[in-house]
């Protein structure tokens, strides 16, 4: 699943293979980071 999350530091593209459906637009989500498979890219 790919979706964008608006944060205080900008927009983040999230790719999460454990999510079964998109979050509703404008809903609140919580971000957590595993110790692997993270890529931060300044676009």
Q: How far is CA 1 from the centre of its chain?
A: 9
Contact assessment for residue 13 and residue 4, using Cβ atoms and an 8 Å cutoff: yes
The domain total for the chain is 1
pLDDT digits (tens, 9 = 90+) for 8-33: 888 888 888 888 887 788 888 888 88
**Entry pTM:** 0.61
Domain that holds residue 14: 1-43
Question: Is the pLDDT score of 42 beyond 80?
Answer: no
């Amino acid at each position: 699943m790919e979706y964008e999350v608006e944060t205080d530091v900008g927009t983040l593209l999230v790719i999460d293979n454990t999510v079964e459906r998109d979050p509703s637009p404008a809903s609140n989500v919580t971000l957590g980071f595993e110790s692997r498979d993270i890529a931060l890219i300044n676009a």
